[in-house]
């Protein structure tokens, strides 16, 4: 079986902010889609299908919003799919869209993910009582904090690593005009002095709640040949899931994450991720997940991820930059956060990342996860097509 | 017209569904789903670990909680970790995603499932939350009222009348007597008006249910099923959301999807249409150019059981099962989403020549 190579030829995102009161949900998604089309120098008529993703419908209070958004996204008369895989959805949505191209079902696809969290209250949306199940009424931080604590105990990491990640990502965000948080006066001391929310996670080590959308135009080899700017080529992509809660689950380094990364590396011919991959856009909603995912994704041996972070390897000018855009810690429209990782990876290999561009970024990983660390989606994009 | 046919033959090889019921409040979604998953796997002898790709369809709004699908994964038994995805749509679209995945060659088999429990809340009110959130949803126009607008437009256009609609209802529920999974069957009175011109009998029952399908590619399909239901084409299209800009007596998205799926290339002998309201069968028959020679909704269709989010996948499953049993050679299956048939999917299934 031969698959059609998939190229990213257009990327668009909104300026992410706490509340976009000037636009409706339709206005928000259209803004990102329009930008992606402009980047690809295409019009709505060039799009064969639309694949849209977001996290729970309860976040905006609109059931299956793709129905209402069909007009705003130029989808009338076209196929439109709506993906929902919890926090990993932005990545999964891009992969579903990529499959339409890879399977040669469609030539050019618009994929988009969004969240307009100001329309409702995400904490409430995540905390509805569930019959037959134990209550988890502490939001996402309450769920993840014990796993961070387990990582610290298991790896012996010094408790300064988390604040170091947050300080780095917030500084990177200053170079990204679309990032939500622009904390010009950020210092490591300020991060460390911020209130403890869910021990060991401090206020400044958590993601914000954002309104925003991200869009990409994916196309086949012929479409890429016509693109006005360099395409990013998909070299590998995969999704993996495991159950939320069971006795054998390793919450610190879930097997589904390891398997997902291994599948992507196999497709892309990556033998040693630490050597062969130039940079990573990683889903880090709480700062400690950087060292944790460095291990889960195979960039460091078990228990060693924090050493990469501590030694500055993951800084923007380090040997393996992580979250050049400022990451989820600086921008978190939940349903879009995964796609922003995927899109930022594409921008890097296209050389279009502006002030946060990494030199010689030839192969970059985009990573997303969701649920109780149970859903994973990743892609590796490169500046050269897969067979070259 | 000529179409580029898929580069890989993919078939529905197994189908299972629950007995659909008005309420299943003693069961969690996982408990409702698990027997169906077991049955569909048992038909093929496959285990979860043998499946190449899994995709599901459901909607959080029915359950009344965020991430309702995450725990359904426990029922699948996703360990070791599986390649899996989810659409917040009817399972027919999950099947479409799985079909594209199999076309890429990344997997040879796929498990597709979907479920919906309408019993936890007032479904007519819940579905209003699908509408434009700023201008329409605040008015709470419910699903029956919107369908009635469409029915009245059809009556006004001379496309149908109330006795014809009653005949659709009677035929569907008579056919459903042979469907042990159906919720409403046999002689059901047309009843009073719910919203004029629609009477109780013109509306679907509200119920809970789940369905699952297994897809397989090429030779794998022949190994798993004596007579696979080959997907000769599948396509879906969406229309504008605003009812005011649509001709409610027609369904151009259904017609286009059918055309792209190759439905008009040769006649079909069977059609399973996802028409929750009698009047919608009138619209779909016209869009799909189905004449009296086609057997429509022998399962009883959505008028006999309409578990939201599973009813579309069930249409594909019922059509495929008829091919499996040798009762059909070429069948059309249709699924819909959104108010007044806003979004429509058409699949064309064929059995090997006999």
Beta strands in chain B (DSSP E): 10-17, 53-57, 84-87, 109-117, 193-195, 198-199, 208-217, 229-238, 270-272, 295-296, 330-337, 343-350
pLDDT of amino acid A299? 98
The CA-atom distances, in angstroms, between A74 and each of A42, A61, A91, A374, B126 are 13, 23, 22, 33, 26
User: Euclidean distance between the first and final Cα of chain A, in Å?
Assistant: 18
Do the beta carbons of residue B239 and residue B44 sit within 8 Å? no
Range with lowest mean pLDDT among B28-32, B161-165, B174-178:
B28-32
pLDDT exceeds 60 at position B183: yes
Q: What is the pLDDT of residue B315?
A: 98
Residue of A nearest to B3 (CA): A105
Window B:118-177, CB contacts with A under 8 Å: 126-127, 129-134, 137
CB B228 within 8 A of CB B220: no
Which residue of chain B comes nearest to A378, CA vs CA?
Answer: B83
Contact B66 A126 (CB under 8 A): yes
Q: Which residues of A touch B134 (CB under 8 A)?
A: 24
A61 CA: distance to closest CA in chain B (Å): 7
The pTM assigned to this predicted structure is 0.97
Q: Among partner residues A56, A85, A131, which is closest to B66 by beta-carbon distance? A: A56
- Nearest-by-Cβ selection for B88 from A68, A84, A95: A84
Which stretch of B5-19, B31-45, B306-320 has the lowest confidence by average pLDDT?
A: B5-19
Contact between chains at A243 and B79 (C-beta distance less than 8 A)? yes
Q: Which residues of B touch A76 (CB under 8 A)?
A: 238-240
Rounded Cα distance, B120 and B270, in Å: 34
Is the complex ipTM more than 0.95? yes
HSE of A19 in the Cβ direction (CA atoms, 13 Å)? 6
Asked whether the bond before B346 is cis by omega within 30 degrees of 0, the reply is no
Nearest to B237 among A77, A82, A372 (CB): A77
CB–CB contact B342 A70 (8 Å): yes
Q: Measured between CB atoms, does B7 come within 8 Å of chain A?
A: yes
Q: Identify from A114, A239, A372, A376 which residue to disrupt to test chain B contact, counting B C-beta atoms within 10 A and taking the largest count.
A: A239
Q: Work out the pLDDT band at B3, boundaries 50, 70, 90.
A: low
As beta bridge partners, residue A271 has none
Within chain A, which residues score under 70 in pLDDT?
1, 127-139, 388
Q: Please give the pLDDT value at position B292.
A: 86
pLDDT of residue A387: 80
Q: Does any CB of chain A come closer than 8 Å to the CB of residue B353?
A: no
With CB atoms and an 8 Å threshold, state whether A244 touches B74: yes
Return d(Cα B38, Cα B46) in angstroms, integer.
Answer: 10
pLDDT at position B64, please? 84
Quote the DSSP letter at residue A87: B
- Residue A179 has what pLDDT? 98
Cβ atoms within 10 Å, residue A308: 22
Give the pLDDT of residue A210: 96
Give the pLDDT score at B1: 40
C-beta neighbour count of A59 within 10 angstroms: 24
| pLDDT of B137 | 97
SS3 content of chain A, % helix, strand, coil (to 5): 40, 20, 45
Q: What's the pLDDT tens digit per position in B238-285?
A: 999 999 999 999 999 999 999 999 999 999 999 999 999 999 999 999
Q: Which residue of A has its CA nearest to B346?
A: A79
Contact between A240 and B84 using a beta-carbon 8 Å cutoff: yes
Contact assignment for A84 to B8 by CB distance below 8 Å: no
- Whether the per-residue pLDDT at B48 is higher than 50: the answer is yes
**Which residues on B lie below 8 Å from A239 (Cβ)?**
83-85
| Model pLDDT, residue A134 | 58
- Distance CA(A167)–CA(A223), nearest Å, equals 40
B255-274 residues touching A, CB cutoff 8 A: 256
**Phi (first) and psi of residue A328, to 5 degrees:** -65, -30
Distance CA B215, CA B95 (A): 8
Among A11, A7, A72, which Cα is nearest to A336's?
A11
SS3 label, residue A306:
helix
Q: What is the pLDDT of residues B113-157, one digit of tens each?
A: 999 999 999 999 999 999 999 999 999 999 999 999 999 999 999
- Residues from chain A that touch B125, judged by Cβ atoms under 8 A, are none
For residue A158, give Cα distances in angstroms to A143, A198, A295, A310, A322.
Answer: 22, 18, 16, 9, 20
In a mutational test of the A interface, the residue from B52, B61, B67, B98 whose CB has the highest number of chain A CBs within 10 Å is B67
Summary mean pLDDT of chain B: 96
**Residue of chain B nearest A249, judged by CA positions:** B79
């Amino acid at each position: 079986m031969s698959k059609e190579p998939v190229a990213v030829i257009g990327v668009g995102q909104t300026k992410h902010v706490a509340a976009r009161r000037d636009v409706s949900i339709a206005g928000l998604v259209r803004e990102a889609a329009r930008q992606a089309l402009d980047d690809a120098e295409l019009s709505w008529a060039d799009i064969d299908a639309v694949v849209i993703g977001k996290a729970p419908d309860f976040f905006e209070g609109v059931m299956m919003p793709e129905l209402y958004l069909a007009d705003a996204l130029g989808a009338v008369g076209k196929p439109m799919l709506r993906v929902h895989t919890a926090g990993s959805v932005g990545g999964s949505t891009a992969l579903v869209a990529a499959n339409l191209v890879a399977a040669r079902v469609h030539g050019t696809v618009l994929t988009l993910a969004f969240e307009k969290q100001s329309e409702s209250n995400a904490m409430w949306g995540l905390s509805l009582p569930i019959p037959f199940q134990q209550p988890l009424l502490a939001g996402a931080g309450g769920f993840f904090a014990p796993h961070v604590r387990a990582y610290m105990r298991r790896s012996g990491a010094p408790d300064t690593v988390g604040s170091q990640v947050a300080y780095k990502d917030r500084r990177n965000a200053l170079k990204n005009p679309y990032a939500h948080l622009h904390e010009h006066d950020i210092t490591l001391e300020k991060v460390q002095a911020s209130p403890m929310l869910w021990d060991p996670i401090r206020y400044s080590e958590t993601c914000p709640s954002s309104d925003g959308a991200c869009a990409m135009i994916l196309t086949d080899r012929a479409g890429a040949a016509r693109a006005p700017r360099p395409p990013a080529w998909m070299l590998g992509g995969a999704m993996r899931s495991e159950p939320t809660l069971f006795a054998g689950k390793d919450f610190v380094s879930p097997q589904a994450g390891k398997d997902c990364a291994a599948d992507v590396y196999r497709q892309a011919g990556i033998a040693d991720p630490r050597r062969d991959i130039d940079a990573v856009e990683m889903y880090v909603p709480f700062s400690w997940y950087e060292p944790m995912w460095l291990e889960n994704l195979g960039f460091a041996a078990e228990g060693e991820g924090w050493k990469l972070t501590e030694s500055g390897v993951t800084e923007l000018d380090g040997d393996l930059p992580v979250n050049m855009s400022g990451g989820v810690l600086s921008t978190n429209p939940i349903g879009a956060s995964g796609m922003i990782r995927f899109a930022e990876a594409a921008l890097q290999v296209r050389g279009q990342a502006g002030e946060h561009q990494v030199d010689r970024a030839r192969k970059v990983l985009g990573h997303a996860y969701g649920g109780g660390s149970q859903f994973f989606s990743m892609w590796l994009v490169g500046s050269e097509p897969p067979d070259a | 017209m000529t179409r580029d046919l898929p580069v890989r033959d993919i078939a529905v090889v197994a189908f299972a569904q629950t007995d659909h019921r008005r309420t299943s409040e003693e069961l969690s979604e996982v408990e409702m789903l698990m027997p169906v998953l077991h049955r569909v796997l048992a038909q093929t002898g496959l285990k979860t670990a043998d499946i190449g790709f899994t995709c599901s369809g459901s909607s959080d709004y029915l359950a009344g909680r965020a991430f309702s699908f995450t725990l359904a994964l426990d029922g699948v038994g996703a360990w070791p970790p599986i390649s899996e995805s989810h659409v917040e749509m009817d399972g027919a679209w999950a099947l479409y995603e799985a079909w594209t995945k199999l076309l890429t060659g990344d997997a040879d088999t796929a498990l597709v499932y979907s479920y919906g429990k309408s019993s936890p809340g007032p479904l007519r009110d819940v579905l209003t939350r699908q509408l434009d959130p700023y201008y329409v949803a605040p008015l709470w126009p419910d699903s029956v009222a919107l369908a009635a607008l469409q029915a009245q437009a059809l009556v006004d256009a001379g496309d149908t009348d109330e006795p014809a609609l009653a005949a659709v209802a009677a035929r569907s529920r008579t056919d459903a007597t042979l469907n042990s999974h159906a919720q409403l069957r046999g002689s059901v009175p047309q009843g009073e008006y719910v919203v004029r011109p629609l009477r109780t009998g013109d509306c679907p029952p509200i119920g809970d249910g789940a369905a699952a399908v297994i897809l397989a590619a090429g030779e794998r399909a022949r190994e798993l099923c004596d007579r696979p239901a080959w997907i000769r084409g599948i396509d879906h299209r969406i229309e504008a959301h605003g009812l005011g800009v649509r001709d409610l007596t027609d369904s151009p998205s259904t017609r286009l999807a059918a055309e792209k799926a190759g439905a008009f290339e040769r006649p079909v002998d069977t059609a399973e249409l996802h028409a929750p309201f009698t009047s919608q069968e009138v619209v779909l028959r016209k869009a799909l150019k189905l004449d009296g020679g086609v057997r429509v909704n022998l399962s009883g269709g959505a008028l006999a059981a309409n578990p939201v989010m599973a009813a579309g996948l069930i249409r594909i499953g019922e059509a495929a099962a008829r091919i499996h049993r040798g009762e059909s050679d070429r069948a059309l299956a249709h699924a819909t989403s959104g108010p007044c048939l806003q979004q429509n999917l058409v699949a064309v299934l064929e059995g090997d020549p006999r």
